[in-house]
A and B are shown apart, each in its own frame.
Chain A
Amino acid sequence: MKLIKVEHAYKIYKNGTTAIADLSVTIDKGEFVFVIGSTGSGKSTFIKMLYREEKPTRGKVIVGGIDVAKLRNSKVYKLRRKLGVVFQDFKLLPKLNVYENVAFALETLGLPNNEIRPKVLRAIEAVGLKEKTRNLPSELSGGEQQRVAIARALANDPKLLICDEPTGNLDPDTSKEIMKILDSINRTMGTTIIMATHDKDLVNRMKKRVLVIEDGVLASDVKKGSYKVHESVKDSK
């Protein structure tokens, strides 16, 4: 079943730069997809269009049945509730502890306390931070902080988890740990994961679907792909 359907999508910025040009792709429910490409390739714009941080100039971007291009600013929250987003810089609130950081997302949505507690604890457990619920972000390592961010993204049981270079600030061992967690979430919860990354080793090791975006177009789409695809695309230019 299709969770994401992108049809002839374009993103042209006001200064005339074409970030995405005629991009079409579909992603099924439960898939784990890497999005790779060099800096300025349009990879981030593509990711941002999925959670409507950027609006496509033309074409269709349908996420979970919602047409992102037609979504008004005041209704964006409806899309965001269906997905979770994880960033390179974690975006945690420094004065809140692990539990509060995860609960913050659900409190914002107006969920009652008796629903928030089990959801938060489940999400924290899924990322293996049960022992550190009362710790502040400053008392955690980079990997642990990213795990908190993942827990927060997962707390509301999203169908889709969008990760924008989540291992960009982490050392190789910690990156592996994060990937293990994401893989487990994908397998056990069935959450669709789309991850933009530059990490060659991770992509090669995971053997997942790889979308290569170069100069705003989808240069290749390979099941169980690797970073080699990306390099061959670059070499052929």
Chain B
Amino acid sequence: MKALRILSRSIRDSFKSVFRNFSLSIASILCTTITLILVAVAIFLSYNVHEVTTTLEHELTIVVYYKQDVTDEQKIELENALKTMDNVDSYETKSKDEWKAEMQKESDTLKTTLDYLEENPLLDSVIVTVKNVSDLSETANRIREFDFVSSAEYGEGMVENVIGIFDAISWGTFGMVIALVLVTAFLISNTIKLTIFSRKTEIEIMRLVGASNSAIKLPFIFEGFILGVFGSIIPILISIYGYVLLYNKTGGYVFTKIITLVEPFPFVIILALILLLIGSLVGMFGSWRAVRKYLKI
């Protein structure tokens, strides 16, 4: 009961202090707000980039063409080899006749040309889906080792570039988030430092009458927590409404149909919880730092 009373008193004092040092509190809250908005953008970017990469991973395939003179035994040999490869998720065979039929369906010019030719000039093929897109080139190289394989292609270069760019974006945003979090923690720490100085007499009296160290420190930790939570309200609202609006306006696609946005729910709810957690933790970390440094008991 006693601990509960001290706790509720600490919370009450923290709220009082937030309003007592109103201008300072507003500065910290605004800083937290700006940081968390950027954090939200960073999370939004990296999560969506991750999703696009994952989608690419599922959609990227290696198209393997056999040589004209391939035998049925050789085809079976490759299929057996594909089954043993770790990075191969699945494969689908597509004969030259199937290619021909498909092409003839797609264009009249192609149809006329192919009809004119006596023999089918196309090649039998296998379409291989991989598990991990970053090992795509290695898998393709292994397939190319077979003599009866004419080619194994997957849009080399482009894929690596796209993945490289996405990776750079992810790391860049991650670095930015860390830097911003540190700046915010420092600012909150500064606010709490000034609170500690402004409540010097109060702290002195508390010490003299026998308040325990935790009872003296708790209000300041709570104050940091409150600043962090207040600072996360606007970013949370922006994230929820902003993302849903963006999703609805764009129909879930950005620039091209390849880059799709993640479904708003439950993504925005998770994002909101992450922002609230980061805000409160950063607030508490900032105040803990100030308490440790400036509150000598």
Contacts and interface: CB of A to CB of B under 8 A. Distances in A.
Nearest to B209: A105
B202 interface: yes
Contacts of A77: 207, 210-213
A16 interface: no
B201 A109 contact: no
B178 interface: no
Given A73-B297, A93-B201, A109 B209 contact: yes
Contacts of B213: 73-74, 77
Interface stretch (A4-12, A37-45, A78-86): A78-86
A10 to B, nearest CB: 24
A152 interface: yes
Interface residues of A, number: 25
Interface in B1-46: 1-3, 5-6, 9
Given A51-B208, A77-B213, A85-B208, A110 B6 contact: yes
Which of A78, A91, A109, A111 gathers the greatest number of chain B CB atoms within 10 Å?
A109
Contacts of B207: 76-77, 80
Given A74-B213, A110-B3, A112-B5, A104 B208 contact: no
A47 B163 CA distance: 72
Contact of A109 (B1, B202, B210, B297): B210
A175 interface: no
Contacts of A156: 209-210
Interface string B204-226: 11111111110100000000000
Interface in A63-114: 73-74, 76-82, 84-85, 91, 93, 104-112
B5 A110 contact: yes
Interface residues of B, number: 20
Contacts of B212: 77
Interface string A100-144: 000011111111100000000000000000000000000000000
B198 to A, nearest CB: 11
B204 A91 contact: yes
A111 B205 CA distance: 16
A112 to B, nearest CB: 7
Contact of A105 (B3, B5, B6, B205): B205
B14 to A, nearest CB: 14
Contacts of B9: 107-108, 110
Nearest to B211: A108
Contacts of B215: 108-110
A21 to B, nearest CB: 27
B293 to A, nearest CB: 16
Interface of A: 51, 73-74, 76-82, 84-85, 91, 93, 104-112, 152, 156
- Nearest 7 interchain pairs by C-beta: A80-B210, A81-B210, A105-B209, A108-B211, A110-B6, A110-B2, A77-B210
Interface of B: 1-3, 5-6, 9, 201-202, 204-213, 215, 297
10 contacts: A78-B210, A80-B208, A80-B209, A82-B210, A84-B209, A104-B205, A105-B205, A109-B209, A110-B5, A110-B6
Given A93-B202, A109-B211, A112-B1, 7 more contacts: A73-B213, A77-B212, A77-B213, A105-B205, A109-B210, A109-B215, A111-B5
